[in-house]
Amino acid sequence: MEKTSALFRGLEAYIRHVRSEFEERLAALVETPTVSVDPERKGDIERGARLAAEYLRDIGASVEIVPTPGHPVVFGRLITDPRHPTVTIYNHLDVQPADPEEWRTPPFAFVREDGRYFGRGTTDDKGPALTALVAARYAVEHGVPLNVHFIWELEEEIGSPNFAHFMRGKRRELRTDSVLVSDTIWIAREKPTVPYGLRGLLGLTLTLETGKKDAHSGVTGGPARNPIGELCQLICECYDPRTGRVKIPGFYDDVRKVTRQEVENYLASGFSVRRFMRVHEFRSLRTTDPARVVKGIMAEPTFEVHGIVGGYRGPGIKTIIPPRAEAKISMRLVPDQDVEKIFRLVSEFIRSKNPDVVIRRAGTLRPYLGPFTGPYAEAARRAMKFAFGKEPAFTREGGSIGAVVIMEEYLRAPIIFLGLSLPEHGYHAPNENYDWAQTAGGIKMFVHYFADIARLGRAR
């Protein structure tokens, strides 16, 4: 108890002292545009990896920038004693693309404004990564008997296609007693949230080519096939856009039913339909019933259309029939849906409706469902309450993190989610931001969690 009191006695002063360092380092990371989907950003990805490695070495960690067939993974190890338990902290440092015309400030310029930090990657996931880093440094320097591994990925935003390659190559060095992921979103600032489940993902492109060139709609219209119109029809045969209900036979067969307790936990997390609409700037929803909205986010699969490409896109109208169109589709999947089974069902259905459509996979992630009880979940609960003064809600999250299911397979260790992002931080959106209040609370949360799990000892 005396050691624990000493640990927290200087924590507030440390948080005040570390703020300028945190902001300086976050600025450098944000202004390195690590957009993993863009081949032209390869040099920026490599610069980001070197910068991350420098930050890890500065706290005394041994560091490797591990090459993969794609972008590298930054792997750091802060070893206090081989006899101590080990926690592995996962974050990603790659980011989504950003259209400057949609932003109030330049997306890859770090902007401070009243305790908020604007820039692509501030909340997803560079800010939380640095928050965990400075907390781990404090904990180790103040005698917490814990070894800390850092895995900073640079391909999360493209589905982690080479993360398993990294895990296989470093399996021996990666042995750990538990995993901590800080890449999730609270339901509301007023209520801390600990997720224990993630939806999976199946991405597809549907391409239909019916000609070689644009054709005059007056000369050929009528007998000529229109690939944009046919793809629109096909999409509406796959699902009902008004309700979101998927029409493909067998799609829902393996969906695990959500329990009443899970829905109640989610509603208790501070969820508000009105706030949900305001934060995401929706004018209307398919339903405004809170329980239905909650179940739709956390426990039901989806079919979404992200874009249709084809035809004339300039000002006014050009009276042509396009030769080609492509639809970009994804499905969020839930436990116990199998990605391969769903791909087969969807592919067979599409071919039965329009055999000329070419189907290409564009990424797959399995759903994840972990425990929300046990010693690590309890440690997370206590840490959240210590830092933010309120009991957290345990929920499932609607997004996907490809690395989580891969770590589950290779590490065979408990996985806990302690995220810090808020809905108003704008994950993947224009004007993405993070804030010092979440950073300061996050440092306290992580230090408390590290001290708690150190007392659990080694799991193996």
Average of per-residue pLDDT across 15-36? 98
Do 335 and 374 sit in the same domain of this protein? Answer: no
CB-based contact 194:395 (threshold 8 Å): yes
What does pTM read for this prediction?
0.88
- Torsions phi, psi of 348, nearest 5? -65, -40
CB-based contact 83:68 (threshold 8 Å): no
- β-strands 433-435, 116-118: how paired? antiparallel
Instruction: Quote the CA–CA distance of 434 and 425 in Å, as a whole number.
Output: 6
CB-based contact 298:187 (threshold 8 Å): no
Do 109 and 212 sit in the same domain of this protein? Answer: no
69: left (phi over 0), alpha (psi -120 to 50) or beta: alpha
Do 24 and 94 sit in the same domain of this protein? Answer: yes
Domain that includes residue 217, residue range: 200-252+301-365
167-188: pLDDT as tens digits: 999 999 999 999 999 999 998 8
Do 50 and 183 sit in the same domain of this protein? Answer: yes
Do 225 and 357 sit in the same domain of this protein? Answer: yes
Q: What's the chain's average pLDDT?
A: 94
Average of per-residue pLDDT across 153-175? 96
Do 348 and 317 sit in the same domain of this protein? Answer: yes
- Tally the domains of the chain: 2
What are the helix (H) ranges across 92-205?
127-141, 163-169
Do 96 and 180 sit in the same domain of this protein? Answer: yes
Do 137 and 248 sit in the same domain of this protein? Answer: no
Do 100 and 19 sit in the same domain of this protein? Answer: yes
Reported as a pLDDT band with limits 50, 70 and 90, residue 3 is: low
Share of the chain above pLDDT 90, in %: 86
CATH number of domain containing 417: 3.40.630.10
DSSP assignment string, 31-100:
TS--BTT-GGGHHHHHHHHHHHHHHHHHTT-EEEEE--SSS-EEEEEE-S-TTS-EEEEEEE--B----G
Look at residue 185 and tell me if it is in a domain. Answer: yes
Do 162 and 229 sit in the same domain of this protein? Answer: no
Look at residue 287 and tell me if it is in a domain. Answer: no
Where among 318, 349, 365 does a domain terminate? 365
Share of the chain above pLDDT 70, in %: 99
Average of per-residue pLDDT across 78-105? 97
Do 209 and 180 sit in the same domain of this protein? Answer: no
Do 219 and 352 sit in the same domain of this protein? Answer: yes
